[in-house]
């Protein structure tokens, strides 16, 4: 089933149509989740007994960190598909994920630093989790720089795909760093089947995570539309679409 869907949407025309259809609803979903999530997280829930009001950065930091990792995993997956099956649309999906992943990786680092200053007494420490998170941002930036460095699009596609796959080894380091090493970064507040957060706080966090994922998906799909239009500028189906 998944293989059929993959090859069905390998067609730029079909992928473009799917992206056009989903972008608007995903943006609407992001807003619908963001409004109650922000109200719960920043207004309705009380301050934390230990961290005070500063804990509210959790509602930005955690979604940003999760999306940055998920986006890179998706980028590496599409890069693999592109290299193995020589699918143009797979490379374009990987390219579309990179700017969104970089944005959320930067947001994760910024909110982490803002939280760390009052909690740890410093903006930054060379902790395993923080260092691997910084490396993730550099990987995104390197991917985008490499993409724009080549005039030959096919060479750029392949070079970026190789970089994405090599960088994927950083993901398990990021995820398991708080378990493998005695790091300053706290462990996960939410794991499968359990949470250390109060119900209202957990609800706010899940709403904000859902909003971040929906927004990220919408921006990626919008960007892949633009990339397809650039690559397929002279395709008859696209010219016909513009005249509708």
The C-alpha atoms of residue 192 and residue 55 are separated, in whole angstroms, by 21
Residue pLDDT, tens place only, 123-137: 888 888 889 999 999
User: pTM for the full model?
Assistant: 0.91
Output phi, psi for 189, to 5 deg.
-80, -25
Q: Which residues pair with 195 in a beta bridge?
A: 190
Q: What angle do CA 121, 124, 129 make, to 5 degrees?
A: 115
Quote the DSSP letter at residue 217: H
Encode pLDDT of 187-214 as tens digits.
555 554 555 678 888 999 999 999 999 9
pLDDT tens across 72-120, in order? 999 999 999 999 999 999 999 999 999 999 999 999 999 999 988 888 8
Check the CA dihedral 214-217-219-222 and report its sign: negative
User: Quick check: 211 and 170 in contact, CB under 8 A?
Assistant: no
Domain boundaries defined on the chain: 12-243
DSSP state of 190: E
Q: pLDDT at residue 244 above 90? A: no
- For 30-78, the pLDDT digits (tens) are 999 999 999 999 999 888 777 788 889 999 999 999 999 999 999 999 9
Residues 46 and 157: their CA atoms lie apart, in Å, by 49
For residues 108 and 102, give the distance between their C-alpha atoms in angstroms, rounded to a whole number: 10
């Amino acid at each position: 089933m998944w293989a059929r869907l993959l090859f069905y949407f390998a067609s730029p025309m079909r992928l473009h149509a799917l992206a056009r259809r989903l972008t608007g609803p995903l943006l609407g979903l992001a807003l619908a989740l963001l409004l109650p999530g922000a109200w719960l997280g920043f207004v309705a829930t009380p301050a934390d007994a230990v961290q005070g009001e500063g804990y509210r950065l959790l509602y930005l930091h955690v979604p940003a960190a999760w999306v940055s990792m998920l986006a890179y995993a998706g980028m590496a997956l599409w890069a693999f598909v592109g290299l193995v099956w020589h699918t143009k649309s797979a490379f374009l999906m990987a390219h579309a994920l990179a700017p969104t992943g970089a944005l959320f990786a930067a947001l994760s680092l910024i909110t982490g630093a803002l939280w760390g200053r009052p909690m740890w007494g410093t903006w930054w420490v060379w902790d395993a989790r923080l260092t691997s998170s910084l490396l993730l941002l550099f990987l995104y930036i390197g991917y985008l720089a490499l993409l724009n460095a080549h005039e030959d699009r096919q060479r750029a596609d392949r070079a970026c795909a190789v970089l994405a796959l090599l960088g994927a080894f950083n993901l398990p380091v990021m995820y398991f760093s708080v378990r493998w090493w005695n790091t300053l970064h706290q462990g996960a507040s939410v794991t499968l089947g359990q949470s250390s957060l109060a119900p209202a706080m957990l609800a706010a966090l899940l709403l904000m995570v859902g909003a971040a994922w929906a927004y990220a998906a919408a921006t990626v799909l919008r960007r892949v539309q633009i990339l397809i239009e650039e690559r397929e500028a002279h395709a008859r189906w696209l010219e016909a679409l513009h005249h509708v």
